[in-house]
A = this chain, B = another copy of it.
Amino acid sequence: MRVAFVIFDGMTALDFVGVYDPVTRLRSMGILPDFSWSIRAWTETVTDDRGLRIVPDSVAESFEGFDVVIVPGGFSTRTLRHDSAFMAWFRGIEVVPLKASVCTGSLLLGAAGWLRDKPATTHPSAIDDLANDCREVRSERVVDAGDIITSGGVTAAIDLGLHLVRRFAGEAARLRIAEQMDYRNGITPEAPDRG
């Protein structure tokens, strides 16, 4: 299984790192030894919405060969969705079978047209905005629509990550990773998935 983490200027770093941590533990904790990932950007360096600089693993490359792609949010998504060069690259994730987003990352999925017939969620402040591009916006922590999974604001990244862990490796793996992350609220049983 290969995961692409998309990062971009003006993102909220915790949207990305909050899901990167639980998901990458699938390999670091020896649960799925063949699990791999790549951090992919459109620019050489990515600066988050408050100045933190991250170096991606690849720049402006395609998304061929990935099984999952994960997209963070941040205020910049509101403008990036109108940036034709960025969106031309971003639309390349169409080939990835499972797409997931955190926070206002769903605005990018919506702008690409992938939420027109799906339920989805986003940051509470972006509910009305997302509604223009989405069949039904829900106020839930994680909305699993099968091949697209969206999640709520910032810290919902952790819940999305644990949800993905369960989809990829089962409930025992989710519990083990949540415990290693000292995520006490994440250790209680989750609501049923696939909205």
**Interfacial chain B residues near A13, Cβ < 8 Å:** 17, 20-21
Which of A62-70, A109-117, A179-187 makes up part of the contact surface? A179-187
Inter-subunit contact B50/A24 (CB<8 Å): yes
**Interfacial chain B residues near A182, Cβ < 8 Å:** 103, 123-124, 152-156
Inter-subunit contact A180/B158 (CB<8 Å): no
Inter-subunit contact A21/B14 (CB<8 Å): yes
Interface of chain A, helix or strand or loop or mixed?
A: mixed
Inter-subunit contact A18/B14 (CB<8 Å): yes
Contact of A52 among B14, B39, B123, B186 (CB under 8 A): B39
**Number of chain A residues whose Cβ lies closer than 8 Å to a Cβ of chain B:** 35
**Interfacial chain B residues near A185, Cβ < 8 Å:** 185
Q: What are 18 inter-chain pairs, A to B, with CB distance below 8 A?
A: A13-B20, A14-B20, A17-B18, A27-B50, A28-B49, A45-B55, A52-B54, A53-B54, A53-B55, A54-B55, A55-B55, A103-B182, A123-B182, A154-B180, A154-B181, A154-B183, A155-B181, A185-B185
Which residues does A use to contact B, with CB under 8 Å?
12-14, 17-18, 20-21, 24, 27-28, 39, 45, 49-55, 57, 103, 123-124, 152-156, 158, 180-183, 185-186
